[in-house]
Chain A
Amino acid sequence: MTAKEDHLAIPPASTYFMVEEKETEERHTLSVVVDNEPGVLARVIGLFTARGYNIEQLTVSEVHHDRGVSRITIVAKGTPHILEQIRSQLRRLVPVHSVADLTLDGDPIERELALVKVKGEGEKRVEALRLADAFRARVVDAHTGSFVFEITGKTRKVDQFIQLMKPLGLIEVVRTGVAAISRGPEAMKV
Chain B
Amino acid sequence: MADESEHAEEMTGAEIVLRALKDQGVKDIFGYPGGAVLPIYDELFQQDELNHILVRHEQGAVHAAEGYARSTGKVGVVLVTSGPGATNTVTGLMDALADSIPVVVITGQVPTGLIGSDAFQECDTVGITRSCTKHNYLVRDVNDLARTIHEAFYVATHGRPGPVVVDIPKDVQFATGRYTPPQNVQHKTYRPQTQGDHSAIEAAVRLLASAKRPIFYTGGGVINSGPRAVVALRELAELTGVPVTSTLMGLGGFPASSDQWLGMLGMHGTYEANLAMHDCDVMVCIGARFDDRITGRLDAFSPGSRKIHIDIDPSSINKNVRVDIPVLGDCGLVLEEMVRVWKDGGLSMDREALSHWWEQINVWRARDCLKYRRSDDVIMPQYAIERLYEATKGRDTFITTEVGQHQMWTAQFYRFERPNRLMTSGGLGTMGYGLPAALGVQAANPGALVIDIAGDASIQMNIQELATAIQHQLPVKVFLLNNNYMGMVRQWQELLHGNRLSESYVEAQPDFLELAQAYGWHGIRCTKPADLDEAIREMIEMDKPVFFDCRVANLANCFPMIPAGQAHNEMLLGEDEKDAEQAGV
Contacts and interface: CB of A to CB of B under 8 A. Distances in A.
Contact of A94 (B138, B190, B319): B190
Interface stretch (B124-132, B224-232, B244-252): B124-132
A92 B315 contact: yes
A122 B329 CA distance: 68
Contacts of A81: 318, 322
Interface residues of B, number: 36
Interface stretch (A15-23, A135-143, A145-153): A15-23
Interface in B176-192: 187-190
Contact of A4 (B160, B322, B572): B572
Contacts of B563: 7-8, 10
A17 B134 contact: no
Contacts of B318: 81, 84-85
Contact of A92 (B127, B297, B313, B564): B313
B389 interface: no
B296 A17 contact: yes
B564 A16 contact: yes
Interface string A22-38: 00000000000001001
A92 B314 contact: yes
Contacts of A19: 298-299
Contacts of B319: 85
B370 to A, nearest CB: 19
Given A39-B126, A95-B189, A15 B572 contact: no
Contact of A97 (B189, B298, B496, B572): B189
A44 to B, nearest CB: 11
B431 interface: no
Nearest to B135: A94
Contacts of A97: 189
Contacts of B356: none
Given A8-B495, A17-B564, A19-B298, A91 B131 contact: no
A35 B189 contact: yes
Interface string B292-332: 10001111000000000000011101110010000000000
B351 interface: no
A94 B298 contact: no
Given A19-B298, A19-B299, A94-B134, A14 B313 contact: no
B564 A91 contact: no
Contacts of A39: 126-127, 130, 136, 138
Interface string B86-125: 0000000000000000000000000000000000000000
A97 B565 CA distance: 39
B492 interface: yes
Interface residues of A, number: 29
Contacts of A104: none
A167 B189 CA distance: 51
Given A91-B314, A95-B189, A97-B189, A15 B564 contact: yes
A176 interface: no
A10 to B, nearest CB: 5
Given A8-B496, A19-B299, A81-B318, A42 B130 contact: yes
Interface string B480-492: 0000000000001
A8 B575 CA distance: 14
Nearest to A43: B130
A88 B564 contact: no
Contacts of B190: 94
Interface in B269-311: 292, 296-299
A187 interface: no
B497 interface: yes
B564 A13 contact: yes
A163 interface: no
B292 A17 contact: yes
Contacts of B145: none
A57 B160 CA distance: 30
B566 interface: yes
B155 interface: yes
Residue of A46, A84, A94 ringed by the most chain B CB atoms within 10 A: A94
Contact of B497 (A13, A43, A92): A13
B112 to A, nearest CB: 12
A10 B566 contact: yes
Contacts of B575: 4
A2 to B, nearest CB: 9
Contacts of A85: 315, 318-319
A175 B563 CA distance: 50
A89 interface: yes
A10 B189 CA distance: 49
A16 B188 contact: no
A134 interface: no
Interface string A86-112: 001101101111000000000000000
A14 B315 contact: no
A50 interface: yes
Contacts of B492: 15
A17 to B, nearest CB: 5
A91 B297 contact: no
B560 to A, nearest CB: 13
B315 A91 contact: yes
12 contacts: A13-B497, A19-B299, A35-B189, A39-B126, A39-B138, A81-B318, A85-B319, A88-B314, A89-B315, A92-B313, A95-B135, A97-B189
Given A4-B575, A16-B564, A95-B189, 4 more contacts: A10-B565, A15-B492, A35-B189, A92-B314
4 closest A-B pairs by CB? A88-B315, A94-B135, A13-B496, A88-B314
Interface of B: 126-127, 130-131, 134-136, 138, 155, 160, 187-190, 292, 296-299, 313-315, 317-319, 322, 492, 495-497, 563-566, 572, 575
